[in-house]
Amino acid sequence: MTKPFPDELPLQTVERHGFGNYRHATQALYRPERLQDILALPQQMASAPLLACGLGNSYGDAALNSGGVLASTERVNRMLSFDPERSVLRAEAGVTVLDVMRAFAPRGLTLPATPGLSKITLGGCAAFDIHSKNHWQVGGFGESVLSMQMLLADGSRVECSRQHNVDLFHATLGGMGMTGIILELEVALHPLPGQTAANRSLPFEGVAALLERIAEVQAQPGTTHLVAWLDLLNQRQASGYVIASTLEDTPQDAAIWGDRKAPPLGLIAPFFNRWSNKAFNLAFSMKHRSQPSSKTDLRSFLFPWDALPNWNLLYGRKGFVEYQCCLPFEGAQESLARILDYVLAHKQKFPAYFAAIKRVRDGAGMLSFPINGFSALFDFPVSEGLWAFLDQLDEIVIAAGGRVYLAKDGRVSAQAYHRMYPRIDEWQRVRSTYDPRNLFASDMARRLNLVNKDG
């Protein structure tokens, strides 16, 4: 029998969990410190499944590889070149969003799509085609990617873009790392209209009013980011605030991009429960009612979680599920109402501590999460019976023509997943041409049956 992985690699056995802390895995970690040290990996790997990962911040099991090898690209993080004429940055996959913002925000440039936490690698952003609150205007991360250099299962290095190896390009955006290892990316930066966000809060009660508010703020010139915050703990019907933001040209000190220490949130976890969250929601509502406009610096605005990067600790040992789904624009009023009614009807047993709705458009990759419509997310602490409750929620989402977001997921069934993503067959065909021996896999891929075993 051949050894699953080679002796010469400096591997460490590590136990890791997803950000939601409810999926765990033990695997061998390989963390090369330069790009050269990753190139031979596909040939060196005989049989064990291989998975490239960034900083491991996906919520479920996307960055876990039980019994296999996890190749972390977190130190393969050199910025390679910048073309000031086209504002195009070429960088290795481990460069983080924070790195890019730190270097380019002071020069008036930004990544158009940004995750809520800034310490996320560009490779990870591409692998999930991440989106932000301005998706309805600028699209997701994939739209700003001009090309990617991939390390394929046969050990070859291939450039893919909208002109070359087009199928590989579209299969890799949102492809959860299953097509190969992203080595380098070329991303187009956008001009930054300003360094300060001016926010307006508009109250709503009920889904019809929510959609009206969203349409209103979309029509207002200057609005770039919008999100609806919902209180699903204190009210009988879905109500909250639509927060619309504009970037203003008030300069900020470059020091806002400095390193921050995470507060010891684990200490207050015992006090984080239904009652404290109810109180928090009331206070949050009151603040937005009494103060409908506010200003925030760019970092706090784009990366609200940077102040609390370890907020997952609040949910304690059992963890939490951030259930995020996307619903088509047609019939959204009905489908959103059905989902919110379902969540509200079970709020005694499965309270959603946090809930938000965003407007999104179609994503760039074959398996990109966003479709033209609305994305809704709910944070549920893990408790007895939650899995069955969420399986029911999946059915409502599927019936409405929607899907769940894999970056946040560690629990959807393979059967449900394949009904959510109609392009999965096409993606699997492309994937198997680039990885015929099924080298790349993850706990998520095995759970969702992403990798065709007979391929």
Partner 1 sequence: MAKRILLLGATSTIMRQVALNLVGKDDLVCLAARNTEELALIAADLRLRTGAALVTTHKFDTSDFATHQELVETAQRELGGLDIVVAGTGALGDQMKARQSLATIKDIIDSNYVGIATTLSIAANIMEQQGSGCLCVLSSVAGDRGRQSNYLYGSAKSGMNGFMQGLRNRLAPAGVRVITIKLGFIDTKMVAGKSGTFLMASPEAAGAHIAKRVRQGADVVYFPFFWRYIMLIIRNIPEFIFKRMKL
Residues that bind partner 1 (CB under 8 A): 10-12, 31, 33-36, 75, 78-82, 89, 99, 102-103, 259
DSSP secondary structure string for all residues of 74-95: TT---EEEEETTTTEEEEETT-
- Is 259 or 454 the residue whose CB approaches partner 1 more closely? 259
Task: Kindly state the smallest distance separating residue 262's Cβ from partner 1, in Å.
Answer: 14
- Cβ count near 415 (within 10 Å): 10
Of the pair 102, 419, the CB lying nearest partner 1 is at 102
The residue to which tokens 């699997």 are assigned: 428
Nearer to partner 1, 103 or 308 (CB): 103
Shortest distance, CB of residue 13 to partner 1, whole angstroms?
9
Find, among 130, 57, 133, 129, the residue nearest to 309 by Cα: 57
Least gap, CB of 105 to partner 1 (angstroms): 12
Residue 123 or 175 with smaller CB distance to partner 1:
123
Q: CA-to-CA distance for 177 and 434, rounded, in angstroms?
A: 12
Beta bridge partners of 404: 325
Least distance CB 43 / partner 1 (angstroms): 20
Q: Smallest Cα–Cα separation from 110: which of 297, 307, 298, 309?
A: 298
Task: Spell out where 111-238 has E strands.
Answer: 145-151, 157-161, 181-188, 190-191, 196-205, 225-231
CB nearer partner 1, residue 101 or residue 451: 101
- 340 class by beta-carbon count within 10 Å (0-12 exposed, 13-18 middle, 19+ buried): buried
Of 88 and 209, CB closest to partner 1? 88
- CB nearer to partner 1: give 14 or 269: 14
Three-class DSSP category at 210: helix
Q: Which is nearer to partner 1, 96 or 335 (CB)?
A: 96
CB of 168 to partner 1, least distance (A): 24
CB of 133 to partner 1, least distance (A): 27
How many Å apart are CA 159 and CA 203, to the nearest integer? 48
CB 69 within 8 A of CB 455: no
Q: Token pair for residue 412?
A: 């959807």
Check: CB of residue 11 under 8 Å from CB of residue 30. Answer: yes
Quickly count: other Cβ atoms within 10 Å of residue 324's Cβ: 21
CB of 79 vs partner 1, minimal distance in Å: 4
Cα-flanking dihedrals φ and ψ of residue 390, to 5°?
-75, -30
| Distance, CA of 123 to CA of 129 (rounded, Å) | 10
Query: Rounded to the nearest whole angstrom, what is the least distance from the CB of residue 34 to partner 1 in the complex?
Result: 6
CB 431 within 8 A of CB 170: no
- Contact by Cβ (8 Å): 73, 33: no
Q: How far is the CB of 254 from partner 1 (least distance, A)?
A: 9
Q: What is the spatial distance between Cα 322 and Cα 239, in angstroms, rounded to a whole number?
A: 19
Closest CB to partner 1 among 81 and 293? 81
Nearer to partner 1, 99 or 129 (CB): 99
CB of 172 vs partner 1, minimal distance in Å: 23
